[in-house]
Amino acid sequence: MSVLSGKRILLGVSGGIAAYKTASLVRLFIKAGAHVQVIMTPASKDFVTPLTLSTLSKNPVYSTFFNEDEEDEKWNNHVEFGLWADLMLVAPATANTLSKMANGTCDNLLIATYLSAKCPVYFAPAMDLDMYKHPSTIASFQALEQFGNIMIPAESGELASGLSGEGRMAEPENIVAFLEADLESKLPLKEKKILITAGPTYEAIDPVRFIGNHSSGKMGFDIAKSAANLGASVILVSGPTHCVVNHVLIQLVKVTSAQEMYDACHQYYADVDVAIAAAAVADYRPKNVANQKIKKAADNFVIELEKTKDILSSLGENKKQQFLIGFALETENEIENAKAKIQKKNLDLIVLNSLQDEGAGFQKTTNKVTFIDKDFKIEPMELKSKEAVADDILNKVIAHFYE
Ligand code: CTP
């Protein structure tokens, strides 16, 4: 999955022949899963039509401060565009637009939006080779880089003038690759390894029966996705579940029983920076597993159970560099029980689910949790989607490394 997936991209198009390439660029952004809002300078409309970019971006395209066509929404609010975006890209960035950006010459919607944008701004220059080398253009590049804007350098090749040299706007594929590489290099959990347990475990009674629980695995899978989207390499050890995952940074290790989950966790634990135990591990398993299917006979049937190993406790015992997060599912004396678990299992943070909270728990898409850290600082959270809870958990991980 591209790091651009879900990102809100503001594409500012200025008036150069390379503007025709923005059709492919918008297409690539949409294919990567991004949301695209195009703002054009009036001159750029001579090179590519707003209709083309609007159709491809699935959004209206704006180029003036006033919108004559819309009765209700006459005013195109550059401040709103600027706040909406996760990143702004000016492509093609002509010498004229670059100079206006560098000097704050706010005579069109694109520049007003640029001046309002709080997000990272990238620009992909496009012009003839002599213009590209002119001290005035170089001064614009330098000014913009000083502002923290990021240049996607022009490429060499045949230019619209018939001359050949540096100045062609980077090809759309290369712009996308540049943005992806730049965003990935800035992800907060890049180079961090995270072990996550998820789902239920099944403890065999005989070849066809088991003791299990209703855990869907969703919470653990959402944590894995959130961690991977932040750049972490994830080892997701999961019991049987219908959840699916498809992310280059997530390695899924499928297990069935508590013992298999224990073994898999210990295989990877020494190398990880963070471990998060979201699995609903069976606390007990049948002491003897029948080799053949058990036939029904007597009216009563007793299965003797023995304790499984507590995976999270064993991770706590072997803890070195790892930031260790556990879950607690409680029905009474929640806070006190959760605090006791922090100490017993040597945790850094516990995510407490109280079944007394409506909307929390197994087979739900929402969760209401309370964070308690090892100093017993208590932080109750709102009822949220499990994806949002996963993001909150990862924010705790980021805070651990950077605060
Ligand atoms: N856990 C584990 N291995 C087990 C049991 C639990 O790794 N054999 C982990 C869970 O993934 C969870 C945490 O321990 O992160 C707490 O599990 P919970 O069932 O709430 O607590 P228990 O320690 O099993 O205690 P109790 O059932 O008595 O509340």
Give the ligand 1 atom nearest the CA of 327. 15
Ligand 1 pocket: which of 283, 331, 336 to mutate (most atoms within 8 A of CB)? 283
Instruction: State whether the beta carbon of 311 lies less than 6 angstroms from ligand 1.
Output: yes
Which residues on adjacent β-strands are paired with residue 150?
A: 122
Q: What pLDDT score was predicted for residue 355?
A: 73
Question: Are 198 and 130 in a shared domain?
Answer: no
Ligand 1 centroid to residue 311 C-alpha, Å? 8
Same domain as 54, residue 97: yes
Co-location of 149 and 200 in the same domain = no
Q: Residue 2: inside a domain, yes or no? A: no
Domain match, 144 and 100 both? yes
Residue 331 lies in a domain: yes
Q: Separation of 345 CA from ligand 1 center, angstroms?
A: 9
Q: Is 232 a member of any domain?
A: yes
Q: Report the CATH number that the domain containing residue 31 is assigned in CATH.
A: 3.40.50.1950
115 shares a domain with 29: yes
Residue 3 forms part of a structural domain: no
Residue 98 Cα to ligand 1 middle (Å):
58
Q: Which residues pair with 39 in a beta bridge?
A: 12, 62
228 and 330 part of one domain: yes
Q: Whose CA is nearest to atom 20 of ligand 1?
A: 328
User: Which residue lies with its CA nearest to atom 27 of ligand 1?
Assistant: 283
Q: Is residue 34 part of a domain?
A: yes
C-alpha span between 3 and 229 (Å, rounded): 7
Is any atom of ligand 1 closer than 6 Å to the C-beta of 4? no
**Residue 384 in contact with residue 395, Cβ under 8 Å?**
no
What is the pLDDT at residue 72? Answer: 62
Is 137 contained in some domain? yes
Q: Which residue intervals of 284-382 are DSSP H helices?
A: 311-317, 334-344
Please name the residue that has the structure tokens 């209700």. 72
* 250 in contact with ligand 1, CB cutoff 6 A: no
User: Residue 353: which H helix or E strand, with range?
Assistant: strand 349-354
Ligand 1 atom nearest residue 325's Cα: 15
**pLDDT confidence of residue 71:** 62
Question: What is the pTM assigned to this prediction?
Answer: 0.85
Evaluate: CB of 326 within 6 angstroms of ligand 1.
yes
For ligand 1, whether the C-beta of 279 sits within 6 Å is yes
Cβ(324) to ligand 1 under 6 A? no
State the distance from the centre of ligand 1 to the C-alpha of 191, rounded, in angstroms.
29
Residue ending a domain, choose from 185, 204, 235:
185
1 falls within a domain: no
Task: Please report the pLDDT score of residue 74 as a whole number.
Answer: 65
Alpha carbon of 277 to ligand 1 centroid (Å): 9
Is the shortest distance between the CB of 316 and ligand 1 below 6 Å? no
Q: Is 331 exposed, middle or buried (0-12, 13-18, 19+ CB in 10 A)?
A: exposed
Domain that holds residue 221: 193-402
Residues 71 and 164 in one domain: yes
Number of domains present in the structure of the chain: 2
One domain for residues 366 and 247? yes
Q: Check whether residue 41 and residue 141 sit in a common domain.
A: yes
Q: Are residues 88 and 120 in the same domain?
A: yes
Quick one: 162 and 226 in the same domain? no
Q: Which of 154, 185, 216 lies at the terminal end of a domain, its last residue?
A: 185
341 assigned ligand-binding residue = yes
Mind listing the pLDDT tens digit of every residue in the chain (403 residues)? 889 999 999 999 999 999 999 999 999 999 999 999 999 999 999 999 999 999 999 999 999 888 766 666 667 788 888 899 999 999 999 999 999 999 999 999 999 999 999 999 999 999 999 999 999 999 999 999 999 999 999 999 988 888 889 999 999 999 999 999 999 999 999 999 999 999 999 999 999 999 999 999 999 999 999 999 999 999 999 999 999 998 999 999 999 999 999 999 999 999 999 999 999 999 999 999 999 999 998 999 999 999 999 999 999 999 999 999 999 988 889 999 999 999 999 999 999 987 766 766 666 788 889 999 999 999 999 999 999 999 999 999 999 999 8
Pairing relation of β-strands 323-330 and 274-277? parallel
- Of 174, 213, 346, 395, the catalytic one is 213
178 is in an annotated binding site: no
Number of CB atoms found within 10 A of residue 46's CB: 10
Q: Is 283 labeled as ligand-binding?
A: yes
* Residue 280, pLDDT score: 96
Look at residue 277 and tell me if it is in a domain: yes
Q: Are 99 and 152 in the same domain?
A: yes
List the CATH number of the domain containing 332: 3.40.50.10300
201 in helix, strand or coil?
Answer: coil
Is there an atom of ligand 1 within 6 Å of 351 CB? Answer: no
Last residue of a domain, one of 185, 210, 227: 185
Q: Catalytic annotation on 367?
A: no
How far is C-alpha 296 from the chain's CA centre?
51
Q: Where are the alpha helices (DSSP H) in 46-171?
A: 50-57, 78-84, 95-103, 109-116, 129-133, 135-146
Helices assigned H by DSSP within 230-361: 258-269, 311-317, 334-344
